[in-house]
Chain A
Amino acid sequence: MNVLLEPFAYEFFRNGMIASVIVGAICGYVGVYVVLRRMSYIGHGLAHALFGGAVLSTIVGVNFFIGAGVWALVNAVLIHLISHRRLVGADAAIGVVTTSSFALGVAVVSTYRRFTLDFEAALFGNLLGITATDLWVIALTSTAVAFVMIVIRHQLLFSTFDPEVAPVYGISTNRTELIFILLLAVTVVASTRILGVTLVSAAVVIPPVIGRYLTQRFQTLLVITPVIGAVCAATGMYLSYFIDISSGAMIVLTFALVFFVVGGRRWLRGSR
């Protein structure tokens, strides 16, 4: 029994565990709309774009959350504006903005090689290096994101389900989409410290897909997806202590395992 509780004796583990539960839950909640809006690529792209901001904030000496946060918001607005000009599709707009931003980060890294370790943390996360301050920032930003999403839940639902008709009922789909992409950017920034830019999109996309396998009701989906995200993240974090695998990778592998188990069960039932 002591062996099982051993990791909780360490503060770094407790911080990491709390952070991963919060991030798993908020990514899952935001992810419901990301998946239903078919915006998975935006979550992936925004996370990659963040790398440029993370690198620049390290070099300039600005706090990661502020530097990367501003960078992510600028990228989110750019993606929104380009895709709404309708000159190019949203996928192409994301491709242009996020790969440019990522390439900028890579270019800076190749110039300032002494920052390699920090950049590895930006790429793959550093769950075990979460400080109490990081934990507060993650908790407050996640609460703020959840609060705003609950306030605009009617607008989000209508503009996600039927964007053409929503304006007839006084809902600005354009404004709702901009608010949502900014909330997604904030979520990605809060989660990157834990999962890194390369893995964060998994936390946004996989739990809602698992949720869709388990329920066909939207309101239920909104409740179970954050629970799935939090439980999988906690499980992954816990297992990483014993298996000695990178925590971020273990969390994503746990998401993937649950996805294949639940999806496989559904497939077997359907094929019978």
Chain B
Amino acid sequence: MLSDRVQLDAPRNEPVTTQKHTDRVHHVHGRLHGHRHAEGREWSERGRPIVELVDVSSGYRQTLGIADVNLKLWPAQFLAVVGPNGGGKTTLLRTILGHIRPRQGRVMVHGTAAGGSALGAVGYVPQLEQIDLSFPITVEEVVLLGLSRQRRWFRGTSAGERDRAHEILERLNILELRQRQIRELSGGQQQAAFIARALLGEPELILLDEPTSGLDIRSRDEVVHFLHEINHSGVAILITSHDLNWVAAHLPWVVCLNRHVIAEGDPQEVFTPAVLGETYKGEMVVLQHGDMIMVGERPHSPNGR
């Protein structure tokens, strides 16, 4: 029979719970004020964070999507937010983007209030499901939409801007597909096109809402490859995801969110049955083999035992 956390290899550190912010927040190993390593990438927690949420409560109409959230995102950090449906992941992104005004607390992007001019340094990639992919638009046209801040009145696209778009497409291995309709691409390639659009504005931070949702294993692999490459060039990335195993395998830092921040830290430390159980309000099984961890649900017994 499986125990809650099956050790297939070496023993691991248990998460450390602190009383910071709310009683429920686990700060796993705390935040090291210096440098963090993430698959070769370092980020600094000195200076000013790109995004800072202080005691933020936010949501639509009567519903509170997130409550008392404190979060910092540092330059060149790669962070995933995981949690159940309705747990506030998208609300968090929209609050950072300034689409939703927080009811309480403050959201700072680059030291100024979220939305407006602060968005100049932020790129956003929505869920593919939210986009009408039957729209008659080519990959290149999608990417060039990323210049919309600069394109006003009768101004068209300059040769230099087009070259820059092509460079980004080449970096993401979809340059030869630039004249294809967006719907003709695979899920991973479509995601790359939207990432390219975000990159064209030369952001310091990219927010991605469920970038692996609906993608097969190969496409997910392509996406993580793109994202790591972008992160290595110094761009901070914040993604939301349902895919705990993908996050555990590839991402250096995770926030477990279910209206409140339940825990934050290295997935290797955060993904414990206790933390995930509290996040998803269910019984979770975590298997460990060396550096690899696998998260699953506890199977239901046919006789309810």
Contacts and interface: CB of A to CB of B under 8 A. Distances in A.
Contacts of A171: 148
A42 to B, nearest CB: 17
Contacts of B124: 165, 168
Most buried by B among A166, A168, A170, A218: A168
B83 interface: no
Interface in A151-173: 151, 154-155, 157-158, 160-162, 164-171
Interface string B137-151: 110011001101101
A168 B145 contact: no
Nearest to A161: B135
B137 A164 contact: no
Interface string A31-65: 00000100000000000000000000000000000
B240 to A, nearest CB: 14
Contacts of B145: 154, 157-158, 161-162, 169
A169 B152 CA distance: 12
Nearest to B99: A167
Contact of B130 (A155, A164, A167): A164
Contact of A218 (B122, B136, B154): B136
Interface string B142-181: 1001101101111000000000000000000000000001
A158 B200 CA distance: 15
B195 to A, nearest CB: 12
B149 A161 contact: no
Contact of A170 (B130, B132, B149): B149
Contacts of B97: 167-168
Contacts of A150: 154
A169 B142 CA distance: 13
Contacts of B122: 168
A193 interface: no
Most buried by B among A160, A164, A221: A164
Nearest to A155: B148
A161 B146 CA distance: 13
B131 A169 contact: no
A215 B151 contact: no
A114 interface: no
Given A162-B145, A212-B136, A151 B154 contact: yes
Nearest to B145: A158
Most buried by B among A154, A158, A164: A154
Interface in B108-140: 119, 122-126, 130-132, 135-138
A201 to B, nearest CB: 22
A272 interface: no
Nearest to B157: A154
Contact of B132 (A151, A157, A161, A166): A161
Contact of B119 (A164, A170, A219): A170
A240 B126 CA distance: 50
B201 interface: yes
A161 B137 contact: yes
B135 A169 contact: no
A215 B148 contact: no
Given A158-B145, A170-B149, A171-B148, A165 B136 contact: no
A162 B148 contact: no
A164 B132 CA distance: 11
Contacts of A36: 135-136
Contacts of B149: 169-170
Given A167-B97, A218-B138, 13 more contacts: A154-B145, A158-B148, A161-B132, A161-B135, A161-B137, A165-B126, A168-B119, A168-B123, A169-B145, A169-B201, A170-B119, A171-B148, A221-B136
* Nearest 6 Cβ contacts at the A-B interface: A169-B148, A168-B124, A154-B151, A216-B136, A170-B149, A218-B136
